[in-house]
Amino acid sequence: MIDDRTKLTIKAMIWINVIMYVVSLLFSKGLHLTLNPLAALAPSSNALIFLGASGTMALEYTHDWSSIFTANWLHGSLLHILFNMMALRTLAPLTAKEFGLYRMVSIYILSGAGGFLLSCLGGVPLTIGASAGLCGLIGALFYFGKSRGGIWGKMVFNQTKSWILSLVLIGLILPNINNWGHGGGFAAGFILAFLFGYEENRKSGKADILICAGLSAFTCFLLFRSILQGLELILA
């Protein structure tokens, strides 16, 4: 069971993703209506760039490396955000249980940034989506399962292996999957889990609260700024 504070935080994370998706649709000049479920209700590339998409093409236009933080909260279609939010509802509670709420949020934000940083270095032109942060949570749980051991540790480890296999298959089968972002997010989550530790070997403390609060405030500031900048461009 997870406490009410964790439930509220996860709901807030989901709502921020949803709000940014709706804003991206409102900023688009026309909705992308298609029978292809992978592209249904897709925001325009320009709207996504205004709102903080990352990648080499976006950086060439905006020259704003803070997009590695904002891209984690944007999505390219209705199916894209539905799939990622379902994954977040599954992964976030388990990660919060083992690492504490504050470390879970920090891992999600920093892993997303790590995934999009690697995407830029790998030459991905335009990239968005919560999957980099989600892969960070998987990476953290992979570390936890391997490090903890025992029956529970092995169960978590085996579950993460199945998630990793699913990600690899999705990356091979579906078009336009950012494997750089997935790999970078996973690696960042694994490293952060090692650095932060989990609840059984180190209880969450003031440092974890401060890191989480700082990252959350910084991310909210960037997202709010991106909305204002998009409004200025549209109304100009």
- Residues labelled catalytic: 131, 182
Cβ-defined contacts of 94-99 (< 8 Å, 24+): 94/141, 94/156, 95/137, 95/140, 95/141, 96/2, 96/6, 96/9, 96/10, 97/2, 97/199, 98/141, 98/144, 98/156, 98/198, 98/199, 98/200, 99/140, 99/144, 99/193, 99/196, 99/198, 99/199
CA atoms of 132 and 135, how far apart (whole Å): 5
Q: Hey, how many other C-beta atoms are within 10 angstroms of the C-beta on 230?
A: 21
184-to-6, 23, 132, 137 alpha-carbon distances in Å? 26, 27, 7, 12
Q: What are phi and psi of 21, to 5 degrees?
A: -65, -45
What's the full length of the chain, in residues? 236
